[in-house]
Amino acid sequence: MKLVSECLGVARSQLTVRLKQSVSPKVRRCRLVNDTELVAEIRQQVSELPSYGYCRGWGLLRRERETQLRPTINVKRVYRVMRDHTAA
């Protein structure tokens, strides 16, 4: 192993990691989430000022949901939805 790592110019630890890996690296699977309701809710909250960013939009959404005793939405999800569904 030492001779191989010296010839390749790679650390021995990296060779062992590569040997232990499967043939193909693991593909990260994401869950498909239907965000249509959330998009409509965000658009309703942010309709007054379209220049609202995701932080202010999330704050408005969070307060609205707290008053309705509904679970809050993660700020990262709001960021992702606003990034993916805004008109360029």
The tens digit of pLDDT for each residue in 22-70 reads: 656 566 667 777 889 999 998 888 887 778 888 998 999 999 999 999 9
69 in a structural domain: yes
pLDDT for the residue 23:
59
Is 64 among the domain residues?
Answer: yes
Q: What is the mean pLDDT of residues 5-17?
A: 85
Counting the structural domains of the chain, the total is: 1
Model confidence at 88: pLDDT above 60: no
pTM higher than 0.75, yes or no? no
Q: Residue 5: its pLDDT value, please?
A: 81
Virtual torsion, Cα 69, 70, 71, 76, nearest 10 deg: -120
> Domain for residue 19, yes or no?
no
Expressed as residue numbers, the domain containing 63 is 36-85
Q: Is residue 59 part of a domain?
A: yes
- Tell whether 22 is covered by a domain: no
State whether residue 39 is helix, strand or coil. Answer: helix
Residue showing tokens 């001779």: 3
